[in-house]
Amino acid sequence: MPRKKKVPRAQKPTRKVKVPGLTRKVEVPRFMLRPTRNVLHLRVDEHLRQRLQQAADEHRIPLVAEIRLRLADSFTRGDVVRTVDDAVMSMKINWERYAARHLRIDLGDQLADAVVAGDDSKAKTLARLLIEHRAVEQRASIEEHRS
In a domain, 20, yes or no: no
In a domain, 95, yes or no: yes
Q: Are 114 and 123 in contact (CB under 8 A)?
A: yes
**Do the beta carbons of residue 63 and residue 71 sit within 8 Å?**
no
Domain contains 114: yes
Query: How remote is the C-alpha of 59 from its chain's centroid?
Result: 28
Does residue 13 fall inside a structural domain?
no
Q: What is the 3-state secondary structure (H, E, C) of 42-104?
A: CCCCHHHHHHHHHHHHHHCCCHHHHHHHHHHHHHHHHHHHHHHHHHHHHHHHHHHHHHHHHHH
Return per-residue pLDDT of the chain as tens, 147 residues: 566 666 555 555 666 666 666 666 666 666 666 666 777 888 889 999 999 999 999 989 989 989 988 888 877 776 666 677 888 888 888 888 888 888 889 988 999 999 999 988 999 999 998 888 888 887 777 776 666
Could you give the dihedral angle defined by the CA atoms of residues 91, 96, 100 and 101, in that order, rounded to the nearest 10 degrees?
0
* CA 20 vs CA 25, 33, 76: distances in Å: 9, 15, 41
State which residues form the domain around 121: 45-146
Provide the domain count of the chain.
1
120 lies in some domain: yes
- Domain-located, residue 55: yes
